[in-house]
Amino acid sequence: MTRDDLVLTARGVRFQGRYFPCSIGKGGITSNKREGDGATPRGVHRIVGMLYRPDRLPPPAPWAVPIVTGDLWSDDRDAPDYNHMVRGPYAPSHEVLRRADPLYDIVLLTDWNWPDAVPGRGSAIFLHQWRRPGFGTEGCVAFSRDDLTWIAGRVTPETRLIVR
């Protein structure tokens, strides 16, 4: 572990000497992640990308990629693009990345079950904005907008999310 890792603790996520309150999956933490279980997977997960809404905020980091209309994330375990970003129109089950609410204004992508996705093992473990403090996610780790913006400006592709 380094100070540049995001480490989930009982106090929140520790990163660069600070603690950030967060929300995790409504199903708690699991070592046996499955699609739709609402749990945050235990393990060491690399940050492999960053997405942001360019119509709502400036790039949080130079390597951030804009989310545009038609950007989706496949969560259909039977689709060949399972647990990958896809473009619409897209018939299999998916999540819309360009949402009406601010939850995905900044998204840090992890390598959970990616790039070689195992069907049904779970998709899209993101770091994103929370709905409100303590409101469980579908398995992601969520933060206040201000904290997520601060974190996004400092993570690198070498940063890892560590969930014990």
Report the C-alpha gap between 1 and 20 in whole angstroms: 17
Residue 20 near residue 147, CB atoms below 8 Å: yes
Mean pLDDT within 79-94: 97
Structural domains of the chain, with CATH: 6-163 (2.40.440)
At residue 157, does pLDDT exceed 90?
no
Q: How confident is the model at residue 47 (pLDDT cuts 50, 70, 90)?
A: very high
Report the C-alpha gap between 16 and 147 in whole angstroms: 12
CA 55 from chain centre, in angstroms, equals: 20
Which 8-state DSSP code applies to residue 3? T
Q: Pairing relation of β-strands 160-163 and 43-52?
A: antiparallel
| Confidence (pTM) | 0.96
Residue 40 near residue 25, CB atoms below 8 Å: yes
Kindly state the tokens that stand for 124. 């899209």
pLDDT tens by residue, 91-131 = 999 999 999 999 999 999 999 999 999 999 999 999 999 99
Report the C-alpha gap between 113 and 151 in whole angstroms: 23
Beta bridge partners of 19: 14
List alpha helices for 30-99, DSSP H. none
